[in-house]
Chains A and B, each alone.
Chain A
Amino acid sequence: DAGVTQSPTHLIKTRGQQVTLRCSPKSGHDTVSWYQQALGQGPQFIFQYYEEEERQRGNFPDRFSGHQFPNYSSELNVNALLLGDSALYLCASSSRVARAFFGQGTRLTVV
């Protein structure tokens, strides 16, 4: 059984561009959350998707948006990239209120 998978593993983008990150949840999981982890810090909650809707959002601007598909996979989109958006982006999945499992992350570098 594959766990949480994220793609791509690494990405380099130029300031001002847009990026899309992808997450496939663990089998049987229907809820996906996204996190941003800057170097040397703990992960920060971006938002959660359940039943194809954004359920809760952390303190992130509207440049960060997402989507959940009928198969429960999810995308994180970031527009107008800033240098400060460089971070490890983590996806976590669970079955609603059950224990969370994390993917290996996507390392985004904005130059």
Chain B
Amino acid sequence: KQEVTQIPAALSVPEGENLVLNCSFTDSAIYNLQWFRQDPGKGLTSLLLIQSSQREQTSGRLNASLDKSSGRSTLYIAASQPGDSATYLCAVPLNNNAGNMLTFGGGTRLMVKP
């Protein structure tokens, strides 16, 4: 059974810092991995999707890497801003295929202080 873990559970940093969020998964036979952002009480916004054949994906100040063999992914946020404050979730497909059946980690709650 696939299990996804995120460390740390919460993180507080001053504005401008570069930071790394970690995600680990137990079954390396994944089809892809997604990072989501969730604002309090809201739905999920997809940030980045990395296919199993890729090593990383970039979008603006965000960079996500994937190491399938070690069962790890990292989300790097450059020059953090107060608007980045949110919960960040990583997820992998439930059954080693794509689509909308996902297993999520518990999330990292990020606070960026002005």
Pair B89/A42 contact, Cβ less than 8 Å:
yes
A63-71, A75-83, A94-102: which one contacts chain B? A94-102
Pair A100/B41 contact, Cβ less than 8 Å:
no
Task: Please tell me if A21 contacts chain B, counting CB pairs below 8 Å.
Answer: no
Q: Which residues 81-113 of B have a CB within 8 angstroms of A?
A: 89, 91, 94-95, 97-107
Pair B101/A33 contact, Cβ less than 8 Å:
yes
A binding-site residues for B, Cβ under 8 Å: 4, 6, 31-33, 40-45, 48, 56, 88, 90, 92-94, 96-105, 107
Whether A56 contacts B94 in the complex (CB less than 8 A), given A41-B106, A42-B89, A103-B43, comes out as yes
Pair B100/A32 contact, Cβ less than 8 Å:
yes
Name A's interface SS. Answer: strand
Whether A31 contacts B99 in the complex (CB less than 8 A), given A99-B46, A104-B43, A107-B41, comes out as yes
CA distance A6 to B43 in the complex (A): 10
Choose among B49, B89, B95, B100 the residue that contacts A92 (Cβ–Cβ < 8 A): B100
CA distance A22 to B4 in the complex (A): 28
Give 10 pairs: A residue, B residue, CB < 8 Å, sorted on A. Answer: A4-B43, A42-B105, A43-B102, A45-B101, A92-B100, A92-B102, A97-B98, A97-B99, A102-B44, A104-B43
Note all chain A residues with C-beta closer than 8 A to B94.
Answer: 45, 56
CA distance A104 to B44 in the complex (A): 7
